[in-house]
Every structure is written in structure tokens, then in C-alpha cells.
Structure 1
Amino acid sequence: MASPFQPHSEAASHVTKVTATGLDDPAKKEIAMKIVSSAENSSLDWKAQYKYIEDIDDGRGYTAGIIGFCSGTGDMLDLVELYKTRKPGNVLEKYLPALRNVDGSDSHSGLDPNYTRDWKTAANDSVFKAAQDSERDRVYFNPSVRQGKSDGVGVLGQFMYYDAIVMHGGGNDSTSFGGIRKRALTKAKPPSQGGNETTWLNAFLDARVWAMKQEEAHSDTSRVDTAQRVFLRNGNLNLNTPLDWKVYGDSFHIS
């Protein structure tokens, strides 16, 4: 959904060995995909979202796929370029010049009227689905898990990082992941620096809520308030099932 992750050097020297299961455990990763999908698509069926595409009027152009790749933020362009590499001559390849031109804007120039139709066609292709999985992991999931393990937080904390990077991107400005983490550091320390995990994660969520309220399209903070805060209040630092939460008024359950 947002721009690619940029690593933060200040945490590099504070790597803490996490003995508990990480978010990269296949069962935990599946839970993470479902929770993000509940917020992004109002559904736990994240695998049904490969074909999803619409302009949600957030200034990022088209939002599409399993993680909300955007035509205006570069990650959709990277995805379609990867798809071309893996399957030359695919149905989306002809849109690469337009995707380069609209990068950084909300324009549909060169994409309409058939881009959404062709995206949905591509979503039936296993090669395109695998490319979406690869880019999700490279840009969003893997950096979140790495930073979480570096900070000494468990599965829930790694998920909080992942959800934040999905929405805000991994840059260092005040409303991107790096800025959110920096704001949290003024209030608390992560476990790798001797802090309490719950205190740190509350500080991180406070900073996340502040960042969300800076942008009208993201000003509804229920994906934090009635989901991640609930897990944290319950002391469920390992995201153990069963899980119950709400997003934007809809209730969800994983047994």
C-alpha cells in the first residue's frame, strides 16, 4: 500500500534472540494475513484479494491485490515489473510505461479503461499470485519481522509493525514506520533496550494512532483500537487463538 521499507540503523546493534515463535511461523503468518485482510478488505479470505482493485480516493491511485499495492506509491510498479520478469508478454506488461508515469500521483492516465479488467484476468494466473506473495514478503512482511525480532518483540509486536508498514510505508518521515517508531522511542524502550514489551507496544500504538490521524483517509483508528489494543490488553503477545476483534464496526473471529 505504501512506499518500500527503509531499515533503521539505530536498532541494528540491539538484536535480541527471540525464542518464542515468530510471525514468520506459517500458522502465525496465516493469522496475520487474515487480520490485515479484515481491515483492508472486510474479509478473512485474504486469498480472494489477488483480484481486488479499486481507487479508494486516498491519493494513491489504484489500490489492488493482497496487500493493497498502489499505482501511486511504486509498489504496484515493482510488482508488475516482477511479473514481467517471471512471465514476459503477460496481460499487464503493456501498462508498465503508464505505471511509471503515474508513480507518485493519483492519476489513472494510460491505465483506464481496461487496467482493472486486465488486473482481474492476471489474478487468475498462479505466476501473478506468486509475484504478489513475493513482493508482499520482500517489501512489507520480512522487514517487519526482522525489525520486530531486532527490537525483541514477539508475534503480536511483529504483527503491529507489519500492519503499520502496510498502511504507512517503511520510510523515516513522521507518518511512516520509521517516524512512528522514532516517536514511540521518546516514550518507551523496546525489550532489546531493556524496556517492557507491553509498555513499548502501547507506546508504538499511541504513535501509530497519531500518524493515522494526520491523514483523512486513515483517520479511523479502529484497526488499532478494537483489534491490536484488544490483543495487547489481553496479554496475548503471541497472537494465540482463538482471536476476536472488530474493524470498522465488523466483528471477526479466528477459532
Structure 2
Amino acid sequence: MPQRPAKRLSLTALAGVTLVLPALALGGTSAASAAAPAVGSGLSARIQAAAPGLDDPHKKDIAMQLVCSAENSSLEWRKYFAYIEPYDDGRGYTGGIVGFTSRTGDMLELVENYTKAKPGNPLAAYLPALRKANGSDSHSGLGKPFEEAWRKAAQDKAFQDAQEALRDRMYFNPAVKQAKDDGLRTLGQFIYYDAIVMHGPGNDSDSFGGIRKSALAKAKPPSQGGDEKAYLNAFLDARKKVMKKEEAHSDTSRVDTAQRVFLNDGNFDLEPPLKWKVYGDSYRIDK
């Protein structure tokens, strides 16, 4: 049996939750991100102009489905506003559409942002406990009441909006901007995004910045006149090395039988139909 990662949804995690779905396919992408210019050689700029990037709403939805297949063995990413689980993986609680965690501070920031937008929400009472848990794997002061409050809050569009906004500011927008700066097309933008979601946006050797630095030591990106496929293969190689350091991420099928498949097919624009496997399970997006 292939090993599953830490971020898994229990059978009861979404019980009784009614989602308030946004009118648009996806929200929260800033105008600055959507309008970010292609940087690099004239050739890479013309290539990027020929097809929508990952910040196109439909492409962004595809990206969310791809990540959800790896994180939760599902394509229905909007169900995971309500996702909340305590794990013994060193991250404390993991919850929401990109796995915000109580240890790394993004869960605390999410609840703080939500409380600013909507004081008196079901999670506001847990801010002191989340502040104490920040930087540790502690579940103290949280537990089942916190989990119930999270699932209740997930019915509120304001909490859904807060999750999408933080996802975009902390993960999606920086990944897409850096990929465009490196002259990468939609697939490369997704490869960056998936990496930053799992490894975080830092610059240490095991974070996104460190993985990119390792790739740059092996190959040049298109913005520096390099071959796009060779550079992305170098990036995926570097990411796999980091994944294998941690037991929870040691299954690298999200790279081997998903992203590398698209890359080997030359699908740089991430155009459906898309077929891939994660942990042995097969998925497809037809349009």
C-alpha cells in the first residue's frame, strides 16, 4: 500500500456541512497578480501571451483540483473549507482548502483575518489557544469543540472568502508571479504552486525558495535563456529530494505520476484532458 500524506480527511470531518459557493469559479486573485507581466526573453513573453496562465479562473480551478487530488484524494476542493484534523505529524491541526496548520502560523492568521471581517464568529474564542499553539504541535485548548466550531464557520461565506484570500496572498500569487518571472508557462506555474503549498514560501533548503535555488544550480529557466522542460525537471528532482526527507511526504507520486506526466507530454499550457495518478488512484479532468 502506498503511503498517504498527513493531510487526509476523516469520514466524519465534513458531516453536516452546507457550503456557500461563490458565484464565480474562483475568487480572490488580485488584479496585480492577474496583470503580472511576463518577464524574461521575448520568446518566453510571446509564449505566455499565447495561452492563459494559472491565474485564469478556469486554470486556477484546475490547479485546485490537482492539489486536492494529492492532499485529499478528491477533485471537489470546495468541500475542504470544512476540513479540520489533528495529526501527530508535528504540525498540530491541519485545516482548510490548502491545509493551513496551527504550528506554522497560517491557521492563526486565517482566524485573525476572519475575526476582523466578522467579529464574534465561532472561531474567535479559540484565538488565544491558537496563539499559544503557534510554533508547536500542541492541541491544547482546541480539541473537539474547536473542530466543531471550524466546521460551523465553514458554512459562512466570510470564512470561505478568508481562506481563499489567504491562499492567494501567501501561496498562489507569489508562486505564479515567481514562475512568470522565470518565464514559465501554466504548467510551470502550477508546479511552483503545488511546491509552495506543501513546503512553504521560505528560503531555507527544505522550503520553496531552497528548492528553486537547487534547481537553478542545475539548469537555467527560460527567462535566462534555458530550456523550460530541462529546468522544470531539475525543479521536480530537487523537490523530490526534499519530500523524501519527511515521512509524511515520502510518497512522491504527485510528482512522478502527475506533474512529470504532464511535463513529459509537453503540456506546458496545462490543457485538458488531463489524466494522472496520485497514490495509485486515477483522476482525470476532461475540460
* TM-score under structure 2 length normalisation: 0.83
What's the counterpart of residue 180 of structure 2?
149
Runs of 4+ more than 4 Å apart: none
Equivalent of residue 177 in structure 1, options 203, 208, 216: 208
- Give unpaired runs (5+ residues) of structure 1: 2-13
Equivalent of residue 105 in structure 2, options 68, 74, 78: 74
How do residues 103-118 of structure 1 correspond to structure 2 at under 5 angstroms? 103-118=134-149
Deviation at 1:113, TM superposition (A): 3.2
The Cα offsets for residues 138-166 of structure 1, whole Å up to 9 and x where unpaired, read as: 10100010000000000000000000000
How do residues 1-255 of structure 1 correspond to structure 2 at under 5 angstroms? 15-16=39-40, 17=45, 18-19=48-49, 20-255=51-286
CA contact (8 A) 2:86 2:139 kept: no
Deviation at 1:105, TM superposition (A): 1.0
- Give unpaired runs (5+ residues) of structure 2: 1-5, 7-37
Deviation at 1:34, TM superposition (A): 0.2
Measure the CA separation in 1 of the matches of 2:89 and 2:174: 24
The Cα offsets for residues 112-132 of structure 1, whole Å up to 9 and x where unpaired, read as: 231111100000001100110
Aligned residue pairs, count:
243
One-letter amino acid of the structure 1 residue matched with residue 39 of structure 2: V
Structure 1 SS opposite 2:107: helix
With over 3 angstroms needed to count, the CA separation of the structure-2 counterparts of 1:173 and 1:219, relative to structure 1, is same
CA contact (8 A) 2:39 2:182 kept: yes
Measure the CA separation in 2 of the matches of 1:174 and 1:92: 34
Measure the CA separation in 1 of the matches of 2:238 and 2:71: 20
One-letter amino acid of the structure 1 residue matched with residue 158 of structure 2: V
* TM-score under structure 1 length normalisation: 0.93
Structure 2 SS opposite 1:50: helix
Measure the CA separation in 2 of the matches of 1:237 and 1:144: 16
Deviation at 1:55, TM superposition (A): 2.3
Deviation at 1:25, TM superposition (A): 0.4
Using the aligned pairs only, state the percent identity: 66
- Compute the RMSD of aligned alpha carbons: 1.2
